[in-house]
Structure 1
């Protein structure tokens, strides 16, 4: 049986209004980049999607379920879905977390540990602000945590992130810093979805067994576990398209 994986970023209603507009990142390490509208989803759309999954009796996968599927050959329920978030923005804490908790949905958060703030601040709707450590730690009843780098979540040029230019020692040092804060020491998500085979081999050497891309499609036993598919749920995705994605199966 195959499974689908979804990734979300910002869940909020004060969305970018122009197709080409970018929302500034506000992170503790002062890394600066603009987030495109595709990474935003309205509260109503997110609520509709999660409610649909619950009403349709989807099974929400944990990383332990995925490990048992690949390592022990344990079959997954027919409607299996892996819900994930990247980057730990404030809106995850203020908006998505209460919705998921209310619906009884478990999810995985890929954390950029160098982006989190030591102090909690008021919601800042003018930017995409990362949450605080206190906020992150308060969501453990819903979220498992996995590695999304410490400082290497940076864009070097279009299609190239810092993982792809770092030396092996630089990569190890960075990922080790994030490992100190996450439960799943063998699980990773590629920043911006960018990677190459050298990065895949480096992750393997560092003890990672699972890594998620942003490629669209289901995963089955034949899918390389360091190149697992994970579909971005984008801004204003038609609900019919969402339903197609979550019901997709490998042939």
Structure 2
């Protein structure tokens, strides 16, 4: 009798434990939202607040996969904004700046784990990718990645030549510039022409990179340099061909988010361990739910 009671208790404990596991999963499951993650530089010797090691990058993505997150591509993300469904617990990986470390260090891990991603590049750097302070992606490297499992890796605009700030710390995208010797700022029409021309140049260069590829160009996607934007700059990049623009506002992306103000969660800081990244996403899921 005692042994039967003990067996029954053990079975009950096992059932409760199993229920707890499923309850915990259900507690954090989300639908019709996307956690858009932002990275910059994956490198094993460089150090900065926006540089993660290859090991940490792999650990973050592996941990999210083990927890039941589902990674989506640029095409799936854009379709989501048009009303298409995405998997529960959807995650979209984005990179800014177009560093060569994406090809050398991040791309092998993305292939290993079968995780799609997009890198928003500064297209003027294509002319001389080794001349930048941190080496940039070359055309050949980009086209190799675009051709691997078409649609898995994409590149988007991070401007053609607007990723800088003037001496007064004003972003080139959102402010009239002055000449090298100072003087009056450019006129409103000159500012408009500059931003429009820059955006069109970025889109054209991306179209050239995608030429002959089986997937459509991602030239209609844009990440604002430094995450800084205004209503005027939104309008101008839209006129230049942008349909989806990404910010650094740290929230979940929902269909209620403006497609020109898509939020992203920073995952590219070396202090963000896998458990912390999961918690950051969950906090923003709760915020999004509370805002409904």
The CA distance in 1 between the partners of 2:63 and 2:169, in whole Å, is: 34
Contact 2:56 2:273 in 1 (8 A): no
Q: Distance in 1 between matches of 2:270 and 2:69?
A: 23
Query: With structure 1 as the length reference, what TM-score do the two structures score?
Result: 0.82
Shift of 1:119: 7.0
SS in 2 for 1:175: helix
Aligned to 1:189, which of 223, 233, 236? 223
Structure 1 CA distance for aligned equivalents of residues 65 and 228 of structure 2: 31
Q: Distance in 2 between matches of 1:158 and 1:49?
A: 37
Say if 1:239 and 1:67 are closer, same or farther in 2 by CA, change over 3 A: closer
Q: Deviations over 1:24-55 (max 9, x none)?
A: xxxxxxxxxxxxx2111111110101112232
Which secondary structure does the structure 1 equivalent of 2:88 belong to? Answer: coil
Shift of 1:120: 6.9
Q: Structure 1 or 2: larger helix share?
A: 2
| 2-structure distance, mates of 1:137, 1:245 | 34
| TM-score normalised to structure 2 length | 0.71
Q: Kindly indicate whether residue 41 of structure 2 is the aligned counterpart of residue 10 of structure 1.
A: yes
Tell me, what secondary structure is at the counterpart of 1:76? coil
8 Å contact kept, 1:154–1:161: yes
Partner of 2:244: 210
Is 1:82 aligned to residue 92 of structure 2? yes
Measured at CA, do residues 244 and 66 of structure 1 come closer, stay the same or move farther in structure 2, by a change above 3 Å? same
- 1:157 positional shift: 5.3
In structure 2, C-alpha distance between the alignment counterparts of 1:46 and 1:82, rounded to whole Å: 14
Could you report, residue by residue, the CA deviation over 1:172-202 in whole angstroms, capped at 9, with x for unpaired residues?
Answer: 2111121123212321100011111211122
Q: How many residues align?
A: 226
Q: Is 1:117–1:130's contact at 8 Å kept on the other side of the alignment?
A: no
* Aligned with 1:179 (options 203, 216, 223): 203
Further displaced range: 209-218 or 134-143: 134-143
Of residues 2-11 and 172-181 in structure 1, the stretch that sits farther from structure 2 once superposed is 172-181
Listed as ranges, the gaps of 5+ residues in structure 2 are 1-31, 177-190, 207-216
Q: Which runs of 5+ in 1 are unaligned?
A: 17-36
How far the C-alpha of 1:102 sits from its partner, in A, is 1.1
| Contact 1:217–1:230, Cα closer than 8 Å, also in 2 | yes
Q: Which moved more, 1:222-231 or 1:134-143?
A: 134-143
Corresponding residue of 2:140 = 134
> RMSD of aligned C-alpha atoms?
2.2
CA–CA distance in 2 between the matches of 1:59 and 1:159? Answer: 39
| Larger relative contact order (CA 8 Å, sep ≥ 6) | 1
Of 215, 240, 243, the match for 2:278: 243
Of Structure 1 and Structure 2, the greater strand share is in: 1
CA contact (8 A) 2:197 2:240 kept: no
Structure possessing the higher radius of gyration over alpha carbons: 2
Could you list the per-position Cα deviations for residues 116-151 of structure 1 after superposition, in whole angstroms to 9, with x for gaps in the alignment? 355779xx9xx5221322222211124111111111
Once residues 168 and 271 of structure 2 are traced to their aligned partners in structure 1, the CA distance between those partners, rounded to angstroms, is 24
Secondary structure of the corresponding residue to residue 185 of structure 1: coil
Provide the rounded CA distance (Å) in 2 between the counterparts of 1:191 and 1:171. Answer: 12
